[in-house]
Amino acid sequence: MKKILSILVITLIIVGCSVKKKPTFIKVDGIKVLSFKNDTVKLQAKAYFKNENDIGGKISTDEVKVFVNKVEVAKVSSKEFEVPANKEFHVPLLVNIPSKSILKSNGLEGLIKSVLKRSVQVEFKGDIKYKVLGFSSTYSIDETKEVKY
């Protein structure tokens, strides 16, 4: 009798906590320069989502490339992010860009323009992966912003 009751409770929990659809990607925003030092430029951005499911999941961002003034300079790397159930949330995207790669990629003309305008064009491009209960899906990201420093 206890086994039947346990199976019934587990079945009700699984049926009640359903995965209706994957979380909705809203935008990448909030791009800002955290620090601008001799050897490294640190950027931060946020990828916004809305999860309408009763169950969370995990998001990973290993495939997102960062372009500065249309030249690839780094990749976003972060730990898997726990997705909350029934909430809007954001995934922090932290990027460490070696200053040498910006200098080499922009050339002297691009560097002078960026310094005079005190801004750079930053693009996040790639895939963010969502996983829940053996189900996975991919979001293609292609967001470009002008960032002032």
Per-residue pLDDT of 83-130, as tens digits, reads: 898 899 998 888 888 877 666 655 555 555 666 667 778 888 998 888
pLDDT tens, position by position, 125-144: 998 888 887 778 888 889 88
pTM: 0.71
pLDDT of residue 130: 87
Identity of residue 129: K
Lowest-confidence pick of 3-12, 58-67, 100-109: 3-12
Query: What are the backbone angles phi and psi of residue 3, rounded to the nearest 5°?
Result: -65, -40
pLDDT of residue 54: 85
Catalogue all structural domains in the chain, each as residue range(s) with its CATH number.
21-148 (2.60.40.10)
pLDDT of residue 48: 92
- Cα(145)–Cα(132) distance, rounded to whole angstroms? 31
pLDDT tens, position by position, 119-130: 778 888 998 888
